[in-house]
């Protein structure tokens, strides 16, 4: 049901997955991930920083799904940068998840003031060579950071996971990704369920298509080619956010949503995050 996107290393990723940021570890995460897998999601996006990898792993084990039916992403925590440290942190994530490899491993933030993301990237290259991860990528990297990886290392990131929603469209970064074979992953794809979903342009399109505002926004991402993983701890919304493959937005409606760009960043500026 969910289409896949082929990354620059040949690995295929389901274009829509399930994000677990801010779901408490323990029963909450196990129930939410269990519900998502039951509903048909096959791609889970977690991070060492979220503290819920172990619960994600328990839900995966309880699902009885074969490992090769699932795509699991996790991310390197900010206090674990460094070539060797990154590989140690990945081993800890694998132990917590109860997996012998993850499908995608990301540097969570570039932390440019520390000036160690190039060395850290070499650690991810080694983890990939050792078979502990199928694809490696980055998150919250800006053009200057991607340029530096290109100049100083041998591997182009498979993805860059960045904040992206209709009122923060990241045109410059998306163009860079397109030119360099990097897939765009959109975090907070529905603007954290906040004011974005109340915008008149979006509610009007929701009415026009007979869909929810969240479904219209997710459809916009999919038609632009973005990879998304909306988070919800609400069973009905978990189903709703996956039910976005039975309709298509007209090109001018996609353009209407893209024109909502107002530079409305919700999270930290990656150049300032330290
Ligand atoms: N790399 C990074 O730095 C980074 C940063 C942030 C997030 N992420 C990743 O991206 C994922 C998604 O981003 P996010 O969690 O920040 O935000 P999001 O997916 O845009 O929004 C989640 C919020 O929207 C609500 N919601 C979900 N479905 C809805 C619907 N159909 N209608 C109305 N409201 C709905 C949820 O509420 P309920 O849960 O109450 O239903 C929750 O409060 C994260 O889980 C994480 O995996 C990565």
Note if the pTM is more than 0.95. yes
- 230-270, pLDDT tens digit by residue? 999 999 999 999 999 999 999 999 999 999 999 999 999 99
Strands 12-14, 4-6: pairing kind: antiparallel
With 90 as the cut, is the pLDDT of residue 274 above it?
Answer: no
Asked if residues 102 and 86 have their Cβ atoms less than 8 Å apart, the reply is no
Q: What is the CATH number of domain 9-193+223-234?
A: 3.20.20.100
**Alpha-carbon dihedral 154, 155, 161, 162, rounded to 10 degrees:** 30
Helix, strand, coil proportions of the chain in percent (round to 5)?
45, 15, 35
**Token representation of residue 90:** 């990945």
- 36-69, pLDDT tens digit by residue? 999 999 999 999 999 999 999 999 999 999 999 9
Q: Which of 36, 195, 230 to mutate to test the pocket of ligand 1 (most atoms within 8 A of CB)?
A: 230
CB-based pocket (< 6 A), ligand 1: 19-21, 45, 108, 139-140, 161, 187-193, 197, 212, 214, 229-234, 237, 240-241, 267
């Amino acid at each position: 049901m969910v289409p896949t996107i082929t990354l620059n290393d040949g690995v295929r990723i389901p274009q829509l997955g399930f994000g677990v940021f801010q779901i408490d570890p323990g029963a909450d995460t196990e129930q939410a991930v269990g519900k998502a897998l039951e509903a048909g999601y096959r791609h889970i996006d977690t991070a060492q920083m979220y503290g819920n990898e172990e619960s994600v792993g328990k839900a995966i084990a309880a699902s009885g799904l074969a490992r090769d039916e699932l795509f699991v992403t996790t991310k390197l925590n900010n206090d674990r940068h460094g070539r060797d440290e990154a590989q140690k942190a990945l081993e800890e994530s694998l132990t917590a998840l109860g997996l012998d490899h993850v499908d995608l491993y990301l540097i969570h933030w570039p932390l440019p003031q520390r000036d160690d993301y190039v060395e850290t990237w070499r650690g991810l290259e080694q983890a990939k060579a050792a078979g502990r991860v199928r694809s490696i990528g980055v998150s919250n990297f800006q053009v200057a950071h991607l340029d530096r990886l290109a100049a100083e290392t041998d591997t182009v990131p498979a993805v860059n996971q960045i904040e992206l929603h209709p009122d923060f469209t990241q045109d410059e970064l998306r163009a860079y990704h397109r030119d360099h074979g990097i897939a765009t992953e959109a975090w907070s794809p529905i603007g954290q369920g906040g004011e974005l979903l109340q915008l008149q342009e979006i509610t009007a399109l929701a009415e026009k298509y007979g869909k929810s505002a969240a479904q219209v926004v997710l459809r916009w991402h999919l038609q632009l080619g973005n990879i998304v993983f909306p988070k919800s701890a609400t069973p009905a919304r978990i189903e709703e956010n996956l039910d976005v493959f039975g309709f298509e937005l007209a090109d001018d409606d996609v353009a209407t949503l893209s024109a909502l760009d107002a530079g409305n960043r919700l999270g930290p500026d990656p150049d300032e995050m330290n």
